[in-house]
C-alpha cells in the first residue's frame, strides 16, 4: 500500500471511514411542518434527557424536516437523517430551491431512538470553541534517545526508504499501525510548518506490531536509516479493520442503531464510532461484544449540561 504523510497529522494512521451522508428517507405528508409523534414517541416521553447539536435541517419533496450530520454540497444540497418532530419553518430563516428547503441551526430536544422531538425553538448555530491539534497526538511512545532523535544512516533516511519500511511492516499479519512523529515542527514559526514537514531526516517513523517484537527493529533497519520507534500493540490493524467494517451491520442487527461513522485510530489502537446518541446500554453492548476499550463511541447529539 502506498502511504502519504501530511504535515503533523499523518496520513499513515490509515483511517477507515464509513460516513452515512445521505440516508434512505421515508416520504412525509407535510411540506411545512414536521409530522406529529408516532411510534417510539413514548420512549421520548419517558426519557427526559435533552440533547443538542449544531446541524443542517433539510426538507425535500420526499421527506419532511430531517436532521443531517453530513451534507452533499450540491445546489440544492442533499442529505438525510432522523425526522425532527415539532419543526416549523415559519419560525426560522431558511433557503429554498427546487422544492428543497434547508438551513443551519442549533437544535435541542429529546431522542426516542429514531428521531428528535424539539423541546425549544431552533436558533442560529452556536459557536463552539475549536480545539487546537494536540502537539502530542502523534508523539512517539519510545523514550527519546540521549542527544535527541537522529538518523542512524542518513543515506537511508529518504522518502523512498520510508515507504519501503512501511510496506515491509504491512506485509506481516502482526502489523498494528504506522505513523510519523513530526514534533520537530513544533518550534517553527507559524507558516513554516508546511514547507518543513515530511522531512525523512527529521521525523520519527513509528511502527507497531502485535506479539513478539524480537528482531522487528533490526528487520526494519535493513531498509530504513531514519529515526525509528518500534512498539507493541494489543490489536493488529487487520483485526481492527475487520471489526470496523462489520460494526455498522452489527449495530443494526444487534441494537437497531445506525453507525454514522467508523474509523480505525492507529495511534490509539482502537476503533472510533459515531452514533446519534450514546447511552450506557450502547457502551455496555460494545464492551461485551468486542472487548473493553476496543470501540470508543461518540454521539452527534450531546446531552444538555
Q: Which helix (H) or strand (E) holds 85?
A: strand 84-85
* Contact in structure between 87 and 31 (CB atoms under 8 Å): no
The H-assigned helical ranges of 2-104 are 41-46
237-303: CATH topology is GMP Synthetase; Chain A, domain 3 (3.30.300)
Helical spans, DSSP H, in the chain: 41-46, 159-170, 193-196, 216-221, 237-255, 280-290
Q: What digits encode the pLDDT tens for the residues 253-273?
A: 999 999 999 999 999 999 999
58-84 pLDDT, tens digit each? 999 999 999 998 898 888 999 989 999
- CA-CA-CA-CA torsion sign (158, 162, 167, 172): positive
Top CATH class, 147-232: alpha beta
- What does the pLDDT look like over 156-213, one tens digit per residue? 999 999 999 999 999 999 999 999 999 998 878 877 777 889 999 999 999 999 999 9
7 CB neighbour count, 10 Å cutoff: 13
Tell me the domain boundaries of the chain. 42-118, 147-232, 237-303
Distance CA 37, CA 214 (A): 61
Closest CA to 240 of 268, 201, 282: 268
Kind plus residue range of the DSSP H or E element containing 110: strand 100-111
| Amino acid 138: pLDDT | 84
- The answer to whether the beta carbons of residues 207 and 218 sit under 8 Å apart is no
Amino acid at each position: 500500500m502506498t502511504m502519504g504523510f501530511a504535515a503533523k497529522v499523518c496520513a499513515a494512521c490509515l483511517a477507515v471511514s464509513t460516513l452515512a451522508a445521505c440516508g434512505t428517507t421515508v416520504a412525509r405528508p407535510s411540506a411545512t411542518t414536521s409530522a406529529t409523534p408516532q411510534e417510539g414517541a413514548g420512549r421520548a416521553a419517558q426519557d427526559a434527557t435533552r440533547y443538542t447539536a449544531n446541524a443542517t435541517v433539510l426538507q425535500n419533496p420526499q421527506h419532511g424536516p430531517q436532521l443531517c450530520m453530513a451534507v452533499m454540497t450540491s445546489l440544492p444540497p442533499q442529505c438525510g437523517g432522523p425526522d425532527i418532530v415539532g419543526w416549523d419553518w415559519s419560525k426560522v430563516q431558511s433557503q429554498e430551491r427546487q422544492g428543497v428547503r434547508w438551513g443551519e441551526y442549533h437544535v435541542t430536544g429529546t431522542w426516542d431512538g429514531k428521531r428528535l422531538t424539539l423541546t425549544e425553538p431552533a436558533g442560529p448555530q452556536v459557536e463552539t470553541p475549536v480545539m487546537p491539534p494536540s502537539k502530542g497526538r502523534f508523539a512517539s511512545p519510545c523514550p527519546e534517545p540521549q542527544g535527541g532523535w537522529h538518523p542512524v544512516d542518513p543515506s537511508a533516511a529518504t522518502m523512498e526508504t520510508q515507504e519501503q519500511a512501511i510496506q515491509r511492516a504491512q506485509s506481516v499479519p502482526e502489523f498494528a499501525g504506522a505513523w510519523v512523529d513530526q514534533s520537530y515542527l513544533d518550534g517553527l514559526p507559524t507558516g513554516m510548518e508546511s514547507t518543513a514537514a515530511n522531512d525523512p531526516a527529521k521525523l520519527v517513523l513509528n511502527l507497531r506490531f502485535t506479539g513478539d517484537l524480537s528482531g522487528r527493529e533490526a528487520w526494519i533497519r535493513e531498509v530504513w536509516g531514519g529515526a525509528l520507534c518500534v512498539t507493541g500493540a494489543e490489536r493488529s490493524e487487520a483485526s481492527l479493520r475487520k471489526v470496523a467494517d462489520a460494526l455498522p451491520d452489527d449495530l443494526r442487527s444487534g441494537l437497531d442503531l445506525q453507525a454514522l461513522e467508523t474509523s480505525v485510530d492507529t495511534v490509539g489502537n482502537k476503533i472510533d464510532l459515531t452514533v446519534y446518541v450514546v447511552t450506557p446500554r450502547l457502551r455496555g453492548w460494545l464492551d461485551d461484544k468486542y472487548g473493553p476499550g476496543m470501540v470508543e463511541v461518540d454521539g452527534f447529539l450531546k446531552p444538555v449540561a
